[in-house]
Structure 1
Amino acid sequence: MTAADTPPLTLVPWSDAAFEVLQKSNTPEMTEHLGGPESPEKLADRHRRYLDPDENGTMFLIVLPDGAVAGSTGFWDHEWAGEPAYETGYAILPEFQGRGLAVAASLAVAEAARADGRHRWLYAFPSVEHAASNAVCRKAGFELLEESEFEYPKGHFLRSNVWRFDLEK
């Protein structure tokens, strides 16, 4: 799938106003494959970290042409198999799911990572049990490498698929 085949959206840099998206994403349904909802304190701490891209990666709001905020995505430094790389993830709010926005956001964030230019690879680590997220990786052109134990959040291990996107292509 290419960006031309996906719905239009814009990635807008993280800001104080983005905290509302984190709150809306912090439900049992949205965090089922991520260890469950975070406490209000942990959520506020994560939001503060997202405001500092130099230290914590580059986070974005996913904004539709009508101005509606559909979720969030981003990329950050992550070492895999001994190599420096980026990791990515996304959260599409329930009322916007099923429209191809996760694929479009994944392709858009890959372009942002490519423009950043520090690493060749962009990785995603969805739970092996999360069929929708694995389908997003496949449709966005990521290559399935293997299964692995993955820690997210800290102290919570899950069996994940390791998907890789080549930013040099």
Structure 2
Amino acid sequence: MKDMDGVDERIAESEEQLLTRHRRYVESVPGQMYRITRADGGETVGSVGYWRRTWRDTEVWETGWGVLPEFQGRGLALRAARAVSEAARAAGSHRYLHAFPSVDHVASNAVCRGAGFTLLGQVDFEYPKGHWIRSNDWRVDLETGD
């Protein structure tokens, strides 16, 4: 994973969950995963990334992030979401970047709103595989910034 300088975040997972997630990210190329580190010491406190997904018959980037509980509420996920949007824009291969937080995940929906994503509506979304949830479909147009 690459560092996202000056941004702090992370998810608490078991060792097995972490390895499974890592394998999935490594195999999901193209895209990129980043470590989110504390600016004041380099401690890894989270992750953020983007990866390819086919959504409604179109190739798009999907994004997601995670913040360790002790670092939540500091605006770190918001900064990470903005930074990953810029990274996906620079990659240049897809027009849209989507995020699909659960409709009940207040913090992640606030991050999407604050990071400039446009709410397209609610969708049924499979996450994790085999488990359907009601999500909001948030999108950034990487060409226009909307």
2:118 corresponds to which of 131, 143, 149 = 143
In the TM superposition, what are the counterparts of 1:149-168 in structure 2 within 5 Å? 149-168=124-143
CA contact (8 A) 2:64 2:99 kept: yes
Q: 2:43 corresponds to which residue? A: 68
Equivalent position of 1:25 in the other structure: 12
Task: Give the Cα separation in 2 of the matches to 1:108 and 1:123.
Answer: 14
Are the equivalent residues in 2 in contact too, given 1:121–1:166 (CA < 8 A)? Answer: yes
Q: Number of residue pairs matched? A: 137
Q: Which has the higher helix share?
A: 1
* Distance (whole Å) between structure 1 residues aligned to residue 64 and residue 29 of structure 2: 18
Q: TM-score, normalised by structure 1?
A: 0.74
Q: Is the 8 A contact 2:95 2:141 kept in 1?
A: yes
User: Would you say 1:11 and 2:7 are equivalent positions?
Assistant: no
In structure 1, give the amino acid aligned to 2:132: F
Matched residues in 2 for 1:111 and 1:121: separation? 12
Equivalent position SS for 2:137: strand
More strand, by proportion:
2
Give me the whole-angstrom Cα distance separating, in 2, the residues matched to 1:165 and 1:130: 19
Using the TM superposition, give the Cα deviation of residue 40 of structure 1 relative to its aligned residue in structure 2, in angstroms. Answer: 4.9
**Rounded Cα–Cα distance in structure 1 between residues aligned with 2:18 and 2:44:** 19
Which runs of structure 1 show a deviation greater than 2 angstroms over 4 or more consecutive aligned residues?
Answer: 39-43, 48-55
Paired position in structure 1 for 2:61: 86
Do 1:125 and 1:150's aligned partners in 2 also have CA atoms closer than 8 Å?
yes
Q: Is the 8 A contact 1:59 1:72 kept in 2?
A: yes
Structure 2 gap segments, 5+ residues each = none
Residue 123 of structure 1: aligned partner: 98
| Structure 1, gaps ≥5 residues long | 1-9, 13-20, 27-38
TM-score (norm 2): 0.85
Rounded Cα–Cα distance in structure 2 between residues aligned with 1:53 and 1:80: 15
**Equivalent pairs: percent with the same residue?**
55
Show the counterpart of 1:105: 80
Contact 1:145 1:162 in 2 (8 A): yes
Q: Distance in 1 between matches of 2:134 and 2:56?
A: 17
